[in-house]
Structure 1
Amino acid sequence: MMSSLLNNVLAEDCRNQWSMSRPLLVLILLYEDYYRSLKESIIRGQPVEKQQTMAQWFEDLMLGIGRNVSSKNKEKFTQNLSTFRRDVANLPKSTTYSTADD
């Protein structure tokens, strides 16, 4: 489920970030180890020159996010996800995203 949601954010034209962010945050908090491995897999799937940038964007995605599902935390994550999505969308379209553990 997490892989599918993250893939939608990364590769699809997802216009409703709010509907994606809520379940994605819960899954990230519940399955931190899986999220970490999925994130690393996506980063490694990028061209070498883009890996550091993608790693920073993943760091920024969780910046200011606590280990809870309070309204404030969910709103912050939605804002971060929107920024993350915008940044990823600006990468050249030739870049592909691999979520190997689909």
Structure 2
Amino acid sequence: MKITRKKNKDITTLAFDGDLTIYQVTETKDELFADHERLTENIALDLHKVGEIDTAGVQLLLFAKRFFSDVNKNIFIVKSNEIVDSVLHKLDIYSQFTQDAKEASL
């Protein structure tokens, strides 16, 4: 899993490229939280290049949501795909990653 960071004044976009499964979650976690202090207050997740996601990947996203919330940062999905959307909707957690997007655009 590769995560590309793009930062502008108000939002840092984290673009994921690869699978987000139990086989990549440790490596992805390290990359996701590297230099987290330098991220802007609003963190946008671009997940449209995620090829596969399982419950370990979902747990990582939920952990990131909790972690960044605890340090007063908003994290939300700005771009996704059918695979990610399907899993997040089936688990009834998709809305947890869209609520902050509305707040960030204010």
Same fold, TM-score > 0.5, yes or no: no
Higher strand share: 2
Higher helix share: 1
Q: Which has the higher contact order (CA 8 A, sep 6+)?
A: 1
Query: TM-score band (shorter)?
Result: 0.3 to 0.5
